[in-house]
Amino acid sequence: MNEAHTVSEINEPVLTDSYERYALKPEPAEWQTRDTVFAVITFVCSVIFVSLSLFGGFAAGFTLSYIVLFILTAVYISGSGARLKLFPLFCGAASLLISGVFALYNDPAVNFLLFAAVVCLYGVFVSQTYTKANAVLLPAAEILTAVPMLNVCEPFRSYGKYSSDENRRGPDKNIIAGLAISVPLLAVIIPLLIRSDAAFEHMMGSLFSGFFETAVKIFIGTVLFVFLFSMLFSVKKQLIKNEREGSPAAGKFPVATAVTVLTVISVFYAAYLFSQLAYFFSAFSGFLPDNYSFTASEYARRGFFELCAVAGINLCVIVFCVCTAKRDESGRVPLPVRLLSLLICLFSAVFAVTALSKMFLYINSFGLTRLRLMTSVFMAALLLIFAGTAIYMFRQKFPVIKYAVTVLACIAIASGYCDIDLTIARCNTEWYTSEKLSEIDVNHLGRLSDSAVPYIALLLDSKDKDVREQAAETLYSRAEKLFVIEGNSIAGSKKSGLSEYNYSREKAKKIIEDRFDKIISLLPEPQDEEETKYLTEYF
């Protein structure tokens, strides 16, 4: 039996679900004078952002430029169905707070992680405030990637229609053509004039001395502008269609398979915990090798990073099983999957606590390093996330993703403003001077950022001659990076503008400059040529 179809139904194109969500409208979105103004402002801000951040070493320039970018986003998209809720406002405020760390401390590893956190929180803020997204992570990722890439042509199409309006006069095409013709002519004329006169050569040399760097900044800023304004324009004009309900993989993973996987893992975790009783009860000593003994460092080192990896794998397994397992008649995750997931959460919590106790023992014996401290923070974060996951098992209205984002944002803020390098240097130095640590690795402190300089300077007064000399060598090496040194004195500070300002660096400069004479006096005597030749030949 044939069914009748209307012409519009027959001619309607068939789109895939992923494309349909970002497909461009048949007619370009309406371009307004306000869009022109903000397009120019966005271009200027993009170039400034690249200049102050990328070329400014991600210091105070990044903080200032990100604040401007955030304000630009809020002002331009304002009124586009904004939903002023607590969670997206928290994410926006957290991103601004984290950006402030770049003006204070200059630890490259930590700042890289904080930069990633700022970008993610910015994406969550935009998607949760200005779109109709209900999920958290996927819409934020799409806002930052898919939306600007798939809608990159839309602002140009809209402006093209706007500028072609017969009632609106745009720039004279003849003037544009004249400018285009002038460029190749000047490329020939200017070199000839430079060769003809020394004064003109000097003037042009001064004018174009930083031309290449400026051109690179403008080019990168233009790329950022196209990407950023496409995103802002798409959100402003509501070119993003509503997200589909649910997860594409939800309800497709067999319950029996999920239960089997979780059960097998749980059995092995139970066996692992049973084996640990050998440390505490002599009746289980048969589980340990003959003549088994271990030092505190061996006990602390062995298994910490492995337990970190196991805890991370557990979280991925739980998320996969809970998100993809077939739902029961009430639409909830089946009870066996929830119970076994809860059991693995408990195992993971035990692993996290065990790993942290191992690391605390190791830190108390040998002091702090960046790896020891950052992995401890990572395990503490996992412990909190597992707690939220356990709550979600039986209260599925609990916003576990928002909870996890909030926890990680708070940890990022706390870690950023506590300054990991400063904490490491302070603790190691205080523990060494109080004789809690028998020795201190000055070379490790020297590999930290400028935040460690105040505490390395304290070691110049150490009772140990070797420690004093190592501290002096470390500070002198840092001084060579921060100052222009002539002989045994500081001739001047190396140039740094407002965008490169960093509180910890300026503080380090002041301390080194004040104690430079003492640093020079404590440097070890250089070896003479005969001794150097002897060491080279025979060793």
State which amino acid sits at residue 259: V
For residue 243, what pLDDT is reported? 47
DSSP structure class, residue 325: B
Q: How far apart are CA 444 and CA 495, in angstroms?
A: 27
**Per the structure block, which two tokens stand in for 410?**
């708070």
For residue 30, what pLDDT is reported? 81
Q: How far apart are CA 140 and CA 400, in angstroms?
A: 16
Torsion 228-232-233-234 (CA) sign = positive
| Residue 301 reports pLDDT greater than 80 | no
State which amino acid sits at residue 95: S
What integer is the mean pLDDT of 368-383? 87
| Residue 90 reports pLDDT greater than 60 | yes
* pLDDT bucket at 1, cuts 50 / 70 / 90: very low
Q: How far apart are CA 235 and CA 74, in angstroms?
A: 11
**Per the structure block, which two tokens stand in for 337?**
């999957």
* pLDDT bucket at 8, cuts 50 / 70 / 90: very low
Point out the least confidently predicted range of 106-120, 233-247, 365-379.
233-247
Instruction: Read off the pLDDT of residues 326-374 as tens digits, 9 standing for 90 and up.
Output: 877 777 788 888 888 889 888 888 888 877 887 887 888 788 888 888 8
Cα–Cα distances (Å) from 49 to 2, 233, 315, in that order, read 62, 19, 37
DSSP structure class, residue 486: E
**Per the structure block, which two tokens stand in for 156?**
């140009």
Helix 211-236 × helix 60-77 angle, to 10°? 30
For residue 289, what pLDDT is reported? 55
Q: Please name which of 274, 298, 303, 304 lies closest in space to residue 286, comparing C-alpha atoms.
A: 274
For residue 276, what pLDDT is reported? 67
What integer is the mean pLDDT of 396-418? 91
First-to-last CA distance in the chain?
Answer: 96
DSSP structure class, residue 53: I
Q: How far apart are CA 444 and CA 474, in angstroms?
A: 10
Cα–Cα distances (Å) from 527 to 221, 479, 523, in that order, read 51, 22, 12
For residue 98, what pLDDT is reported? 95
For residue 23, what pLDDT is reported? 46
**Average model confidence (pLDDT) across the chain:** 79
Instruction: Read off the pLDDT of residues 217-237 as tens digits, 9 standing for 90 and up.
Output: 888 888 888 889 898 888 888
